[in-house]
Amino acid sequence: MASSFKSLGSNDATTTRTLLHESIPITGSIVSGTYGGGAIALGGEPHIKTYSHGMFQSVFDYPFLSSSANHIFDITTGYASTSHLSGAANTQNAKKINIYNQMAQVLAGFDETGSLRLLDEDGDIIAGGTKIKECYFVNFSRILTKDEIKKGTFEMTLTTADGFAEPAPSGERIIITDHSGSDGYFVNSPAGEYGVLFATASTDTDAVLSANRRFPVGLLYYQAGIAVLSGSIFSDSDDGGILNTGVGTVTFNPAGASVTGFNTTTGSTNDVMADNFRNRLFNLQFNNTTELNSTIYFCRASNSEFNYSSNPTYLSTSGGGPSEIVVKDGTRSTDPHSYITTVGLYSADNELLAVAKVSEPLIKTPSNELTLRVRLDY
């Protein structure tokens, strides 16, 4: 007889988890505003969106007013209220403290006394250590990071040129990576897993870094898609930074001013600080991760099942004789045949939940058995 439904047993379904990775390259010309050819005045870049609140900038891969534009990341700066840069007379002082506190609350959380934890240079929050009190925050768009940034793939190249010169000399670049991210990450953050960012010289012969070694300069939160960079990346060792004294602290000169390193933030808005950072971003790349969870159903048809169709045209009673099966070529036969084209998955309430189609009809007879593998991805 024609059967259309069959219950699935516990051995007829299994689950799998697959990680898919995609390479994300972001060139400095997009971020700095020079990708259209020639220098563009600060504040006039069509793919850099600023806001009246002045809290952060948004960077797009195309003029942000275009429907084709994709959001790449937001960038802002902040410092702790206990930072030596904090001062009531500073430009946007309260906003910069609020930004730091907000990011620290999300990324580091609170201690057992209810006090806000400061961002830690080596990631060991409980043991204390050196705190990052002055930061650049780069918050990547979910369209780029997907479920998370793949550990050990993050690489950012920054120039150490003064002003807004592009490109900087090849010997004046530092490379920031999550060097030990694949096996040395931390899990003590409310925002998920994170690794320490380290800065190295672009080549072994460069003397751009103090003592020419690897320095911890920030944190990368993989699931949150946020990079935290210390303000020390643009200061020399005499100013408490990582750069060689021969290179000197980078001079930012927006609007004719001449202030060095992160100290610029005391008299500059977050928009200006974001401009300073963007115009020194030479290259950025990482791999994202998409977690694909699947349920696989094995729909089995034994030799005695699904050999008939419930379609009324399947049988012919012409001539008043016994019913005969009309097979595909139009001839009549008493041998049962059916052609499987669709598999439906139903709930216990007989509600259709999913439909799978085969690429071509599969013949089913009492002399064969079929197992159709149906995969649902989430």
- What the block records as the tokens of 324 is 């005969």
Q: Is residue 4 part of a domain?
A: no
Beta bridge partners of 331: none
Residues 239 and 269 occupy one common structural domain: yes
Q: In terms of domains, do 71 and 190 share one?
A: yes
Same domain, 174 and 322: no
Spatial CA neighbour of 342 closest among 287, 301, 314: 301
Query: Would you say residue 15 has pLDDT above 50?
Result: yes
User: Residue 207 — very low, low, confident or very high, per pLDDT cuts 50/70/90?
Assistant: low
Q: Does residue 134 share a domain with residue 30?
A: yes
Check residue 65 and give its pLDDT. 87
**Helix 93-107 with 270-278: angle, nearest 10 deg:** 60
- Has residue 10 been placed in a domain? no
Reference 132, options 273, 214, 230; nearest CA is 230
Is the residue at 74 inside a domain? yes
Span 279-300, average pLDDT: 93
Tokens 């580091």 found at: 108
What's the total number of domains in the chain? 2
Q: Helix/strand/coil (H, E, C) string of 341-356?
A: EEEEEECCCCCEEEEE
In a domain, 7, yes or no: no
Instruction: Please tell me whether residues 206 and 131 are part of one structural domain.
Output: yes
State which of 266, 290, 314 marks the end of a domain.
290
Contact assessment for residue 378 and residue 293, using Cβ atoms and an 8 Å cutoff: yes
Same domain? 81 vs 131:
yes
Q: Are residues 208 and 311 in the same domain?
A: no
Residue 8 domain-assigned (yes or no) = no
Is residue 3, in this structure, part of any structural domain at all? no
Strands (E), the chain: 13-27, 48-49, 57-60, 71-79, 134-140, 148-149, 155-159, 173-177, 194-201, 215-221, 226-230, 251-252, 259-260, 281-301, 315-316, 324-326, 332-333, 338-346, 352-364, 370-377
Burial of 111 (0-12, 13-18, 19+ CB in 10 A): exposed
**Among candidate residues 211, 124, 187, 199, the one with its CA nearest the CA of residue 154:** 199
Q: Work out the average pLDDT over 353-374.
A: 94
- Please determine, for residue 96, whether its predicted confidence score (pLDDT) is greater than 50: yes
What is the domain extent for residue 308?
Answer: 302-377
Cis before residue 167, ω within 30 degrees of 0?
A: yes
What is the band of 209 on the pLDDT scale with cuts at 50, 70, 90? confident
Q: Are residues 332 and 273 in the same domain?
A: no
Residue 214 amino acid letter: R
Binning pLDDT at 50, 70 and 90, where does residue 257 land? very low
Return the structure tokens found at 371. 């197992």
pLDDT digits (tens, 9 = 90+) for 123-181: 877 666 789 999 999 999 999 999 999 999 999 998 887 755 444 444 478 899 998 76
Domain final residue pick, 290, 319, 345: 290
With a cut of 60, say whether residue 40 has pLDDT above it: no
Q: Is residue 251 part of a domain?
A: yes
Q: Are residues 197 and 339 in the same domain?
A: no
